[in-house]
Amino acid sequence: MFFLAAFVAGLIVYSTFRVLAGCLYTVSPDQRAVVTSFGAAQIMPGTRQAADAGNPSLSDDEVQRYEYPQVQVIRPGGPYFKMPWQTVHKVTVATQAVDLSWDPSKYQETIEAVTKDNLTTGVNGQIRYRISESNLYPFLFGVTSPLEHVMGYFVSVLRERIANFVDPKGQSLLEATELETGDGDGKADAASSSAVELSEGVSINDLRKNLPLLNQYMEEQCRNTTARYGIELDAALITEIDPPAEVDRALSAINSTRNQVAADISTARADSEQQITMSARAVEIATNNAQAEVAPLQELAGTLASIKKEGGSACLQAYLRNARVPLFKRAGRFLIKTSSDKGANQ
């Protein structure tokens, strides 16, 4: 009888300490906790918070649909005590990264998407996210797997964007071409130049050139995940867009040919501009030479006119006679026109 009483007493003491030990818990600095009693979380009184009424990315219908309550959050520290019928839900609020191909339902190395050219391409990258401390209710109790929902939403938006992506530079060139066509001969060259650049538009090339723009678009479109799932998207880092191998080889050949053509066009433009510059310089030099030859004659004409005006014809004849003297000294022989020559000419 004594042994039975001692066994029961020991069992009670063990159960008591075991239960008490299980009722103590701590929360690390990168964690937040929510305590539920029989599955119900403690709701903050008078703070039935709208999901994110000030978020411009949410429509009025979504604001009403995702109106979640604000739960009481246990801050880092401890040890805390809970009753045996209570459950502690801990979540990590530090920024985390997950591959874009992550999917708990299947294994995949890349995300497949169809471009505007009907080419199937593979997309890889990461997204950085953190759990919203101020909106833990939808993360813990809204859906079964909120991160899986966020990834599905992100991939859907990404595929829609890739399927309709148009290079903004190409679009602006198209508008410029439409405006400039038919406005005059001077704008025809600019229109043809725009047409050449437009011919380089291939969806995969455009996507590769505009990865920062694509990442920015994804971040803007996924800002409402905080209100929907309690997960804040910190950044989208799409790093690879790779088509199938046979398509990649064809694109490489096309790009090489276009680069060669672009290099030839640039060389031809440089040569033509150099020729135009040299021609303009030659014209300028010829003009200066002509002006240099004309200037002394104009000065001499002005001098003769001034002599005749001030001294008359006699003074002008005397000046001419004196001016001939240095010429006679330099000439080897000269002819003098006499009065008989004048009569013979008549």
The neighbouring-strand residues paired with 87 are 36
Q: How confident is the model at residue 171 (pLDDT cuts 50, 70, 90)?
A: low
In a domain, 321, yes or no: no
The neighbouring-strand residues paired with 238 are 125
CATH number of residue 166's parent domain: 3.30.479.30
Q: Are residues 90 and 102 both part of a single domain?
A: no
Which residues does 173 contact at the CB level (< 8 Å), separation at least 6?
194, 197, 198
Q: Domain boundary residue among 212, 243, 274? A: 243
| 341 pLDDT more than 80 | no
Length of the chain counted residue by residue? 346
Q: Are residues 3 and 117 both part of a single domain?
A: no
pLDDT greater at residue 144 or residue 250: 144
Number of domains in the chain: 3
pLDDT for 22-39, tens place per residue? 788 899 998 999 999 988
Q: Are residues 4 and 137 both part of a single domain?
A: no
| 219 pLDDT more than 90 | no
Q: Are residues 45 and 99 both part of a single domain?
A: no
Instruction: State the chain's mean pLDDT as an integer.
Output: 80
Give me the percent of the chain exceeding a pLDDT of 90. Answer: 18
Alpha-helix runs per DSSP H in the chain:
2-22, 60-65, 136-137, 146-163, 168-180, 188-198, 203-209, 211-221, 225-229, 245-330, 339-345
Query: Rounded CA gap, 341 and 336, in Å?
Result: 10
119: left (phi over 0), alpha (psi -120 to 50) or beta: beta
DSSP letters spanning 279-322: HHHHHHHHHHHHHHHHHHHHHHHHHHHHHHHHHHHHHHHHHHHH
pLDDT greater at residue 164 or residue 338: 164
Look up the pTM and report it.
Answer: 0.59
Q: Are residues 73 and 156 both part of a single domain?
A: no
Q: Are residues 139 and 63 both part of a single domain?
A: no
pLDDT for 229-286, tens place per residue? 888 888 888 888 887 777 777 777 877 888 889 899 999 999 999 999 999 999 999 9
Q: Are residues 271 and 173 both part of a single domain?
A: no
Q: Domain boundary residue among 65, 94, 123? A: 94
Q: Are residues 128 and 31 both part of a single domain?
A: no
SS3 222: coil
> pLDDT value at position 201?
55
SS3 110: coil
pLDDT for 58-99, tens place per residue? 777 777 778 888 888 998 987 898 888 889 999 999 999 989
> What is the arithmetic mean of pLDDT over 192-210?
62
| 176 pLDDT more than 60 | no
Name the token pair of 123: 């997309």
pLDDT greater at residue 183 or residue 116: 116
Domain extent at residue 263: 255-305
